[in-house]
Amino acid sequence: MNIKLTKTEDVQPEMSCIYIIRKETKLPAYLFSDVEHDYVQKKIIEGENQISVNSYLKQSFIQVLNEEKNFYDLKEELRNGAAELLKQIKVSKIEKILIIDELHDADLTLSFIEGLVLASYRFKKYFTEKKAPEFNLDTILVLSSNITNAELEELSFLCEAVYHARDLVNEPVVFLNAVKLAEIINAKLTPLNCSVEILNKNRIESLKMGGLLAVNKGSVDPPSFSIIEWKPGNSVNNKPIILVGKGVMFDTGGLSLKPTPDSMDYMKSDMSGAAAVFGTIYAIAKNKIPVHLIGLIPATDNRPGGNAITPGDVITMYNGTTVEVTNTDAEGRLLLADALVYAKQFDPQLVIDLATLTGSAKAAIGTAGMVAFSNTDDDTYRKFDESAWNVFERLVRFPLWADYKEAIKSDIADLKNIGGKTSGAITAAKFLEHFVDYPWIHLDIAGPAYLHSDDSYRGKGGSGTGIRLLYDFLKNSV
C-alpha cells in the first residue's frame, strides 16, 4: 500500500483539504473568503452533503454529516462519501490531501479515512504501458484533536491487509497456484512473528485428507495446506480461535464443468476465503492484537484433467466419513470439511470459516452481504453481528434446521456432496456441520467476495471481504 497516513499539526493554506463537519460547524475564516463561506452555507441549507470550493491554488471539499442516521449508517455514509470524493480528487490530480476533523469523533472520522484509503486500491501489476502520468492520492494528513497516531497506524495496517488480500484474489491462477499461495503466506506472515507450517502433497496424502486430495486429482499442480499460528505471550484466550479459508485457486467445476460466461470466467476468486484468513492474520499480527489465533488454508485448483474425480465417485474424508461426489463442482465443502476436522485437535474456543461456497448464497442476497450460519451461543453470534454492522460487512443468518440434512443423504455412502434443487447454501452448510463438534460460524461469501462493477470503497474485482469483520470481532473479544 503506498498511501501514507499521518497526523499533522499545521495547516498550510495552499494545501487541498477535506473538512468533515456537522451542519452547524462554522468554517474557519482564515481559510475561506466571505463569498466562499456564504456559498457553502447556502449549499448546506439546500441539503447537500458534499460541497467543493475551487480556490485556484487549491481545492477544498466539505463533507457534511447527516445526523439523522444511526451510528453504523453514519459511519458507512462517511466511507461511501470518501469513495465519492476520491473521484473528484483524482480529476483534480491531487496527490496530497489534508483532512480537517471538525466532528471530534474519532470513530466517525476514521471511517471516512478508511473509505478514502480502501477506495484508492488498484491492481496494476499486469499493465505494461505507463500511460499519461496517473495521479494517485499518496499522502493523507490528518488534523484532529481526537485521533491518535496509533489509531492511524492501526487503520493503515488494516487497510494494507485488505490490499494484500485483494491482490491475491485478483491474481490469476497462472501466477497463483496452491503452492505459490502457501509460499506467499509464509513469506508475508513469518516476519510478523507468526509460525507458519506448510503441508505438501506427501504430508497431505499421509494424513489422508481425502476431500482435499479428491479435488486435486484432476490438477497438474499439487495441493497445499497452510497452518498459521499467531500466539503472542499476552494472548487473553485459553483456547485458540481458528479461521479456515476456502483456497480453490481456480474452480473450473471439474468434470461437472462450469459454463464460461458469468460463471467460470471469474473463478480465480474462489480462494477469497483463503485471502480473507491471510489478511485477517496479517492485520492482527501487524497490530499485535493479544489473541491466540490459528489459520487453516486448504488449497488446490479444481480441474477436469487426467485422473479427475468423476460424478459418482465415493471418497473417504480426513475423519473417515465417506462421501458420494455427485457433482464435482461442489468441491469447496470437500476441502473445507478436511480442514474443519483438522481444527478439532486444537480444542478451539470458536472456529470461523469463510468460503465462496455456493452460487445459491449469491442468488439469495447478491453482493450486499454474507450468508452466515452459526451453532454458537446467542451472545457470541450477537457480538459477531454487531461487528458486522460496525464495519458494514453485513450478515444474513440462514438456518441449520435438521430438515435440510435429508437432502445430502446418499444411497451408497455416509453423505453426498450436493443437495436438491433448492436451498443450496443451506445444504452446503449442513454438509460442513457434519464435520464440526465445536462452536462454529460459517460465512458463505460467494456474493461480496468479487465485484463485477465498481462498488464504492469496496472497489471492483477482489473486495477483501471478511477481513474488517473478523478484525473488529477479534479485537473486541480481547
Chain contacts with ligand BES (rule: CB under 6 A): 251, 270, 327, 329-332, 356-360, 362, 418, 424, 446
166 is catalytic: no
| Minimum CB–partner distance for residue 446 and ligand BES (Å) | 4
* Cα dist from 60 to 3, 76, 97, whole Å: 20, 22, 9
Q: How far apart are the first and last CA of the chain?
A: 27
In sequence order, the 6+-apart residues with CB closer than 8 A to the CB of 111 are: 75, 76, 78, 79
With CB atoms as reference, the residue minimizing the distance to ligand BES is: 359
| Minimum CB–partner distance for residue 169 and Zn ion (Å) | 13
Between residues 171 and 270, which has the closer beta carbon with respect to ligand BES?
270
CB 138 within 8 A of CB 434: no
Angle at 462 between CA 218 and CA 304, to 5 degrees: 10
| Minimum CB–partner distance for residue 342 and ligand BES (Å) | 20
Enter the DSSP assignment of 241: E
446 binds, among Zn ion, ligand BES, none (CB under 5 to 8 A by kind): ligand BES
Between residues 331 and 338, which has the closer beta carbon with respect to ligand BES?
331
| Minimum CB–partner distance for residue 258 and Zn ion (Å) | 7
Burial of residue 452 (CB within 10 Å: 0-12, 13-18, 19+) is: exposed
327 binds, among ligand BES, Zn ion, none (CB under 5 to 8 A by kind): ligand BES
Helix, strand or coil, per DSSP, at residue 163: helix
434 binds, among ligand BES, Zn ion, none (CB under 5 to 8 A by kind): none
338 binds, among Zn ion, ligand BES, none (CB under 5 to 8 A by kind): none
| Minimum CB–partner distance for residue 434 and Zn ion (Å) | 19
CB 299 within 8 A of CB 247: yes
CA atoms within 13 A on the CB side of 261: 0
> Cα separation of 1 and 372, whole Å?
30
Of residues 90, 180, 258, 460, which has the active-site annotation?
258
360 binds, among Zn ion, ligand BES, none (CB under 5 to 8 A by kind): ligand BES
Between residues 115 and 298, which has the closer beta carbon with respect to Zn ion?
298
171 binds, among ligand BES, Zn ion, none (CB under 5 to 8 A by kind): none
Between residues 146 and 263, which has the closer beta carbon with respect to ligand BES?
263
Q: What does the buried/exposed string (b/e) look like for 165-199 if buried means 16 or more CB atoms within 10 Å of the residue's CB?
A: bbbbbbbebeebbbbbbbbbbbebbeebebebebb
CB 316 within 8 A of CB 245: no
Between residues 76 and 171, which has the closer beta carbon with respect to Zn ion?
171
- Nearest CA to 211 out of 353, 352, 312, 331 is that of 331
55 binds, among ligand BES, Zn ion, none (CB under 5 to 8 A by kind): none
Residues at the interface with Zn ion (CB under 5 A): 248, 251, 270, 329, 331-332
Between residues 1 and 264, which has the closer beta carbon with respect to Zn ion?
264
Between residues 111 and 367, which has the closer beta carbon with respect to ligand BES?
367
Of residues 79, 268, 333, 458, which has the active-site annotation?
333
Task: Cell numbers for 453, please give them.
Answer: 462493477
| Minimum CB–partner distance for residue 430 and ligand BES (Å) | 12
| Minimum CB–partner distance for residue 219 and Zn ion (Å) | 14
CB 111 within 8 A of CB 80: no
CA atoms within 13 A on the CB side of 217: 17
> Cα separation of 38 and 305, whole Å?
69
333 is catalytic: yes
Catalytic annotation, residues: 258, 333
